[in-house]
């Protein structure tokens, strides 16, 4: 049997290699990644163009108490950042909190201003399935693309609770947290002039899950990091 060769590689093997390459590329194209956003905020040297804010809410707190003024001090915000830069997925923004439906959420008392992370951009569709975020039907493969509790994923959380020195969680709590890590949200299309924002600890965050897509006009600046000493 005569076997043709392509670049020194038998044709049959070369076709297999091409197929595998295209398969890998196809799989990668089916995911949305963010290789730019850093998980931990930087320390920022303040200038006259920046403002320092206090953030007492824990919707953005992760395992190292990120974005907590109580633990990390004030947070630096650039109020003019978006005058010259595009808004990107992963940006942490400072904004005026929209009104919420007090009939539906009577127990919530959100602050006048808050911080959250940009998850979906204008025109995109966002959905949550089994605790995972999907953008335009593609999984958001980032550190903020799944349900976390204080920075812990489902496996890490259940390994850590009810251990000496760690959080205690009774049977009812365990059931609730299991549901949380596998939560869902119906598909929403983000209107033009809006963003879908969420905190990094979803169950502690008052964000677009509560008040829907956030008007871009509500944004007061980009969070750059902690204020340096």
Average pLDDT over residues 177-203: 98
**Which 3 state secondary structure label does DSSP give 169?**
coil
Mean pLDDT of 211-220: 98
Q: What are phi and psi of 222, to 5 degrees?
A: -100, 135
pLDDT at position 166: 81
The per-residue pLDDT for range 1-50, each reduced to its tens digit, is 444 444 555 655 554 444 444 444 444 459 999 999 999 999 999 999 99
Phi-psi region of 217 (alpha: psi -120 to 50; beta: other; left: phi over 0): alpha
Closest among 121, 103, 92 to 205, alpha carbons compared: 92
Q: What is the mean pLDDT of residues 184-209?
A: 97
Q: Where are the domains of the chain?
A: 36-147+182-227
Model confidence over 99-139: pLDDT tens digits? Answer: 999 999 999 999 999 999 999 999 999 999 999 999 999 99
pLDDT at 1: 46
CB atoms within 10 A of CB 9: 12
Two structure tokens written together for 205 = 């965050």
The pLDDT of residue 187: 98
Homologous superfamily of 36-147+182-227 in CATH?
A: Umud Fragment, subunit A (2.10.109.10)
Q: Is 96 exposed, middle or buried (0-12, 13-18, 19+ CB in 10 A)?
A: middle
Interacting residues of 140 by C-beta distance below 8 A, sequence separation 6+: 31, 32, 34, 119, 132, 133, 134
Q: What is the mean pLDDT of residues 217-222?
A: 98
Residue 170 has pLDDT above 70, yes or no: yes
Is a pLDDT exceeding 60 seen at residue 175? yes
């Amino acid at each position: 049997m005569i076997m043709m060769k392509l670049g020194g590689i038998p044709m049959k093997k070369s076709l297999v290699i091409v197929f595998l390459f295209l398969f890998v590329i196809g799989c990668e194209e089916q995911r949305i990644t963010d290789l730019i956003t850093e998980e931990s905020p930087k320390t920022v040297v303040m200038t006259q163009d920046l403002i320092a804010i206090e953030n007492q809410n824990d919707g953005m707190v992760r395992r190292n108490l990120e974005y907590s003024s109580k633990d990390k001090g004030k947070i630096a915000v650039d109020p003019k950042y978006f005058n010259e830069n595009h808004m990107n997925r992963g940006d942490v923004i400072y904004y005026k909190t929209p009104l919420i439906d007090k009939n539906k959420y009577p127990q919530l008392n959100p602050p006048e201003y808050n911080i959250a992370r940009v998850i979906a951009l204008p025109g995109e569709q966002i959905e949550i399935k089994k605790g995972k975020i999907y953008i335009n039907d593609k999984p958001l493969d980032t550190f903020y693309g799944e349900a976390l509790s204080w920075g812990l994923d489902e496996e890490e959380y259940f390994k850590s609770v009810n251990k000496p020195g760690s959080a205690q969680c009774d049977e009812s709590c365990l059931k609730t947290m299991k549901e949380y890590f596998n939560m869902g949200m119906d598909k929403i299309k983000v209107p033009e002039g809006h963003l879908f924002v969420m905190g990094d600890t979803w169950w502690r965050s008052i964000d677009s899950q509560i008040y829907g897509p956030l008007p871009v006009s509500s944004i007061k600046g980009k969070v750059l990091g902690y204020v340096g000493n």
